[in-house]
Amino acid sequence: MSALITETPVEPLPETSSPATSVQRAPLEPPELEAIYEEHSRPIFYLALRMLGDPTQAEDATHDVFLKAYRKLGEFKGNSSIRTWLYRITINHCQNLLQTWHRRNIHGTDDETFWERAVGPGDSPLRVLETKELGQRIQKSLDALPEGYRLLLLLVADEKLSYDEVGALTNQSSDAVRGKLHRARKTFAAAFHQTA
């Protein structure tokens, strides 16, 4: 994990029960922490990758998210699932990264090998090329979307979260999520069509 990490505040999820009824969790033991990392690191990396658009930054962000989660584990009240809590940390962390001066002003090169690793070793060169081109088109289309639309698409389509879960993560009602998601899908389809 990165040795120098700037601690950023994580917005707590909306309370679903009164403080008197919230469950106090015992500290997790190292085997439990390892199990949480094993279960959730891949989806967290994928969400960070789609938000940041760079595999190296996404890998760093994934490590940072789990470090923050470990540090704030005592504050986790159990009002939501561990998965939802980790996604909230990931969203906040990636949004902070996207707002930094470095991200706005310095653009790295795309990691071409990421898309090549997405195909199996037995796939034909044509299949490798098709997968790489499709991945680049999807990422380019996502990058063209407003941040709110991109996040909704990632959470619902890629992470398979319910409208209620997405609403809790983005501080809006499930009906608002549904309406915005409809507009986000139409905008994405138009952007994807333009990349052809």
DSSP 146-188: -HHHHHHHIIIIIS---HHHHHHHHTS-HHHHHHHHHHHHHHH
Which pLDDT belongs to residue 175? 92
Residue with tokens 């996604």: 87
Both tokens assigned to 22: 């919230």
What is the model's pTM?
0.60
Give the per-residue pLDDT at 142.
Answer: 83
Percent of the chain with pLDDT over 70: 70
Confidence of residue 72 (pLDDT cuts 50, 70, 90): confident
Q: Angle 174-194/125-144 helices, nearest 10 degrees?
A: 120
Angle at Cα 108 formed by Cα 101 and Cα 52, nearest 5°?
70
Contacts of 15 by beta carbon, 8 Å cutoff, 6+ apart: 22, 79
Between 81-85, 93-97, 155-159, the lowest mean confidence (pLDDT) is in: 155-159
User: How high does pLDDT run on average in the chain?
Assistant: 75
Distances (CA, A) of 71 to 63, 87, 140: 12, 16, 34
Cα separation, 48 vs 15, whole angstroms: 25
Helix (H/G/I), strand (E/B), else coil: 114:
helix
Q: What letters, b where the CB count within 10 A reaches 16 and e where it falls short, cover 133-148? A: eeeebebebbebbeee
pLDDT band (50, 70, 90) for residue 105: low
64, two tokens: 């940072």
Give the domains, in start order, of the chain with CATH numbers.
27-109 (1.10.1740.10), 111-196 (1.10.10.10)
Query: 18-33: per-residue pLDDT in tens?
Result: 333 334 445 555 567 7
Rg, C-alpha atoms of the chain: 18
Overall residue count recorded for the chain in this entry:
196
Residue bearing tokens 């983005």? 170
3-state secondary structure of 7: coil
Which tens digit of pLDDT belongs to each residue from 136-195? 888 888 888 888 888 888 888 767 788 888 888 888 898 999 999 999 999 989 988 888
Confidence class of residue 16 from pLDDT cuts 50, 70 and 90?
very low
pLDDT at 90: 92
